Amino acid sequence: MKNIKVLVTRKWPKNVETKLSQTFNVKLNNSDKPLTELELIKAMQDYDALLPTVTDKISDNVISCENRKVKVIGNFGVGFNNIDIDSAKKNQVVVTNTPEVLTDCTADIAMLLMLGIARRASEGEPHVRNSEWSGWRPTHMMGTKVTGKILGLVGMGRIAQAVAQKSHFGFGMKIIYFDPYFKDEKIKEKFSAKSCNSIDELLSEADFVSLHCPSTPETQGLINNDKLKKMKQSGYLINTARGDIVVEDDLISALRNNLIQGAGLDVFLNEPNVPEGLRNLSNVFLLPHLGSATEETREAMGMRVFSNLTSFFDGKEPVDRVV
Residues with a known catalytic role? 242, 271, 289
Q: Is 304 exposed, middle or buried (0-12, 13-18, 19+ CB in 10 A)?
A: buried
* Residue 86: Cβ-neighbour burial (10 angstroms; 0-12, 13-18, 19+): exposed
Nearest to 83 by CA among 108, 55, 104, 107: 55
Three-class DSSP category at 205: helix
> ∠117-196-169 over CA atoms, to 5°?
50
CA distance 56 to 36: 9
Contact 98, 320 (CB under 8 A): yes
Torsion of CA 67, 73, 76, 82, to 10 degrees: 70
